[in-house]
């Protein structure tokens, strides 16, 4: 059984989801307020979090960021919006997947199973250490250090940095980056990669874009010799 922390204030939806998932391999713990989610998360140690965005007490995006700061647990966001705003914002806060409301329980179950498969695959992967000058990435615990100090990255920032570092010296297009990170193609409008690149540059003192280079018209290049 996997433990799910469902953060949802809609009593009818919460009952429907809980009843459906409980018939399979998921045990559900319900939290109805955003401002109670982090403490409940620490107490429950769930395997996956299903998080509504519109919550009393604290916004779901803030809850997502709080959880991601203390854990790499998979986070699936429930959103009532069909445009890309919530998805882009959620990815920047560290979410792993999205399901649109109204929720189809069988779709939610399939997404949760896929998340758990990906999580288990990561857990079984070989540990690697990537070292570029003063930058060190350890994949076994997803830790990053910069000039001897731990560097705190969101889940999305870590994924993007790792994808770039694994392809050091090669240009990766936005399309290639999105496919590797999220399994989708670049639609010409999505700016989540660009926004995340900007955040990484700020965290690694890359104001001149020497460590992560922009190759105009092509994409981004991780320079292996610039991380001193």
pLDDT value for 69: 82
Residue 228, domain member (yes or no) = no
Identify the domain containing residue 172 by its residue range: 129-222
Instruction: Per-residue pLDDT tens, the chain, 228 aa: give them.
Output: 789 999 999 999 999 999 999 999 899 999 999 999 999 998 888 889 999 998 999 999 999 989 988 888 899 999 876 666 666 777 777 888 888 888 889 999 999 999 888 877 665 555 678 889 999 998 877 889 999 888 988 878 888 999 999 999 999 998 888 877 765 455 555 677 888 999 999 999 999 999 999 999 899 999 999 998
pLDDT value for 60: 92
pLDDT value for 56: 95
Q: Are residues 32 and 109 in the same domain?
A: yes
Q: Are residues 119 and 144 in the same domain?
A: no
As a whole number of angstroms, the distance between CA 51 and CA 214 comes to 35
Q: What is the CATH number of the domain that holds 177?
A: 1.10.10.10
Sequence-distant (6+) residues with CB within 8 A of 214 are 197, 220
Which residue, 103, 123, 143, sits at the end of a domain? 123
Which residue, 58, 90, 123, sits at the end of a domain? 123
As a whole number of angstroms, the distance between CA 206 and CA 37 comes to 35
Q: Are residues 7 and 119 in the same domain?
A: yes
Where do runs of H (alpha helix) occur along the chain? 11-22, 37-44, 60-70, 85-93, 105-123, 155-166, 174-182, 192-203
Helical packing angle, 155-166 and 192-203, nearest 10°: 90
Sequence-distant (6+) residues with CB within 8 A of 45 are 3
Q: Are residues 139 and 214 in the same domain?
A: yes
pTM of the predicted structure, to 2 decimals: 0.57
């Amino acid at each position: 059984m996997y433990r799910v922390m469902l953060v949802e204030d809609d009593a009818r939806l919460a009952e429907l989801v809980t009843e459906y998932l409980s018939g399979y391999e998921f045990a559900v713990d319900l939290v109805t307020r955003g401002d109670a989610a982090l403490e409940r998360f620490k107490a429950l140690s769930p395997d996956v979090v299903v998080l509504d965005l519109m919550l009393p007490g604290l916004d779901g995006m803030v809850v997502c960021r709080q959880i991601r700061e203390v854990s790499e647990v998979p986070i699936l966001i429930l959103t009532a919006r069909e445009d890309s705003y919530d998805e882009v914002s959620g990815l920047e806060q560290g979410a792993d997947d999205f399901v649109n409301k109204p929720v189809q329980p069988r779709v939610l179950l399939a997404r949760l199973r896929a998340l758990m498969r990906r999580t288990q695959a990561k857990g079984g992967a070989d540990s690697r250490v990537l070292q570029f000058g003063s930058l060190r990435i350890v994949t076994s615990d997803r830790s990053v250090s910069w000039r001897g100090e731990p560097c705190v990255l969101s889940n999305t920032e870590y994924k993007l940095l790792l994808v770039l570092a694994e392809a050091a010296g090669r240009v990766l297009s936005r399309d290639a980056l999105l496919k590797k990170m999220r399994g989708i193609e670049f639609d010409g409008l999505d700016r989540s990669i660009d926004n995340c690149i900007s955040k990484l540059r700020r965290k690694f003192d890359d104001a001149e874009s020497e460590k992560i280079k922009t190759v105009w018209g092509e994409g981004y290049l991780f320079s292996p010799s610039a991380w001193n």
